[in-house]
Amino acid sequence: MPHATFHKQLLHFKQASGTSRGVLTSKETWFLVLKDGDRVGIGECGMFRSLSYDDNPDFESKLQWVCDLFIAGEAVEPSELKEFPAIRIGLETALLSLASDDPFILFPSEFTLGETAIPINGLIWMGSEAFMKEQIRQRINDGFGCIKMKIGAIDFETELSLLRSIRKEFSSEEIELRVDANGAFIANEALDKLKHLAELDIHSIEQPIKQGQWQEMAGLCEASPLPIALDEELIGLVDSEVRSKMLQTISPQYIILKPTLLGGFQASDEWIELAEDRGMGWWITSALESNVGLNAISQYTFTKNSKLPQGLGTGSLFTNNLESPLRVENGKLAYHPELSWKTELINLK
């Protein structure tokens, strides 16, 4: 008889991590476990408080509804979970896991065989100037060829100074620099800041102003001297017509896909098709999932054959993460099939 449960887990950061939305010390996530005979499937529903479209009081009752339907032998249509993107990707992952001989191999490839790794950006969290400088040195020493710095929480001149210090030592051919404003700039001040950033050979800036300002963002994308990548702008756009209209209106140079916040792999496929039809670039980013979610997103990402460094987390942010075969080596995310998963946090038996 089919069985389904979910389990809430609070992930604790090893050290407080700063963004323009505040400082994070912990993050909730939910593990969905499906069982059918001897088979087991696991997926992560990594809803992100204050950012996810499905941050609402009905989240756990919707998860229970999914479990009840599975136990009753009824299929859940993806369209029925449009309003719950984190549950949608959790179910999508758990079903792929259930169908696999190895519940942690969802998209078999050279990546899961340990033969090829995925280039990723090294993330610089917000904090004091000294803290950010130390992170920059560490990422460069760790072999990252692409560094992404979150900006918008401290003084802009200090942030420019940090970026200049990198450019004094490393050219854009040696180190690719991305910045992420998380919507922190005011619309009528953003263009001037983008001009200053462009002087430093910045690859791109993510979400310079808050989402929902389509005309203002369109004007920035047209006038900006450096490429703009939309991130939060994509969240909550669940209908194909609205997604298409937004891209047509704003016409960004890049879009950034967070599968957990956008509704999973099928939804990400649709975004990629819409972007490529318009000549827009894209890359994929994790959203502070545990190693369960990171594993699924990483395996999916590899199958998309992007040539750009991806924004995949390292799995090392949390004190109580599941131990996995994922490792970051020389600026790349690798899967070591000879290593095993340790799943004490979740009942998979």
| Domain at 118-335, CATH from 3.20.20.120, 3.40.50.150, 3.30.110.70, 3.40.50.280 | 3.20.20.120
pTM as predicted: 0.94
Q: Where are the beta strands (DSSP E) in 125-263?
A: 146-150, 176-180, 204-206, 228-230, 254-257
State the DSSP H helix or E strand holding residue 327, giving kind and residue range, or none if neither: strand 326-329
Q: Is 258 a catalytic residue?
A: yes
pLDDT at 25: 84
- Domain boundaries along the sequence of the chain: 3-99, 118-335
Give the confidence band of 349 by pLDDT, cuts at 50, 70, 90. Answer: low
Structurally, at CATH architecture level, domain 3-99 sits in 2-Layer Sandwich (3.30)
pLDDT at 150: 87
| Per-residue pLDDT at 17 exceeds 70 | no
Angle CA(245)–CA(280)–CA(268) in degrees, nearest 5?
Answer: 70
Q: Is 150 a catalytic residue?
A: yes
Of the chain, the percentage scoring pLDDT greater than 70 comes to: 97
pLDDT at 19: 58
pLDDT digits (tens, 9 = 90+) for 199-253: 999 999 999 999 999 999 999 999 999 999 999 999 999 999 999 999 999 999 9
Task: State the Cα–Cα distance between residues 66 and 32, nearest whole angstrom.
Answer: 10
Of the chain, the percentage scoring pLDDT greater than 90 comes to: 79
Task: State the Cα–Cα distance between residues 133 and 146, nearest whole angstrom.
Answer: 15
Question: Shortest CA distance to 294 belongs to which of 280, 276, 281, 312?
Answer: 312
pLDDT at 1: 85
| Per-residue pLDDT at 345 exceeds 70 | no
Give the confidence band of 128 by pLDDT, cuts at 50, 70, 90. Answer: confident
> 35 has which bridge partners?
3, 40
Pick the catalytic residue: 258, 304, 332, 349? 258
Pick the catalytic residue: 27, 35, 62, 150? 150
